């Protein structure tokens, strides 16, 4: 028969791993977005190597909204996620923080899917940094859903 004390610790460890993985992915996304914003704002060339065509993507009309680089909005999204993740550690703000994380990551995933479509179907060029950001945001969404489901099961 399984030891009840081990069962009760297991969800906590999974939750801690999930939270830590989400933080790591948000930091990765923030770093990628910051790099792309810096490239756009300074007029430098992204170092994509032979993997993609960062310049075509980063210089397209889809790389800005209202004159601001899309990457700045990505940075704001990842920063919002990191703030919500910090709030989630406090019992008083846990539920609203998780819902905020879900909302930001859902919007980010949907917008990343739109931008990926633009890259492939319209620009016919792919930016590997954008792909990393899209994968990170999608993984964050999945982890948020798992945390929300686990919280519901515990309630």
Residues 66-88 have pLDDT tens digits of 999 999 999 999 999 999 999 99
pLDDT digits (tens, 9 = 90+) for 44-56: 988 887 888 888 9
Helices assigned H by DSSP within 67-127: 70-88, 94-117
Count of domains forming the chain: 1
Q: What is the per-residue pLDDT for 8?
A: 42
DSSP state of 90: S
Mean pLDDT of the chain: 90
CATH number reported for the structural domain that contains residue 101 in this entry: 1.20.1440.130
Owning domain of residue 96: 4-154
- Average pLDDT of span 126-148: 96
- Report the percent of the chain where pLDDT is more than 90: 71
- Enter the pTM of the model: 0.88
For 69, list phi and psi in degrees, rounded to 5. Answer: -60, 135
Which contiguous run of DSSP H or E holds residue 2? none
Is the alpha carbon torsion for 25, 31, 33, 35 positive or negative? negative
């Amino acid at each position: 028969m399984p030891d009840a004390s081990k069962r009760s610790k297991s969800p906590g460890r999974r939750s801690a791993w999930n939270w830590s993985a989400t933080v790591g992915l948000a930091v990765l996304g923030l770093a990628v977005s910051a790099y792309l914003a810096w490239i756009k704002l300074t007029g430098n060339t992204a170092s994509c190597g032979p993997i993609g065509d960062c310049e075509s993507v980063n210089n397209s009309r889809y790389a800005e909204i209202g004159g601001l680089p899309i990457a700045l909005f990505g940075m704001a999204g990842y920063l919002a996620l990191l703030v919500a993740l910090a709030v989630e550690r406090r019992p008083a703000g846990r539920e609203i923080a998780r819902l905020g994380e879900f909302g930001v990551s859902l919007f980010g995933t949907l917008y990343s899917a739109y931008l990926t479509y633009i890259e492939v179907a319209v620009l016919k060029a792919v930016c590997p940094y954008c792909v990393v950001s899209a994968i990170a945001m999608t993984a964050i969404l999945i982890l948020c859903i798992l945390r929300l489901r686990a919280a519901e099961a515990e309630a």
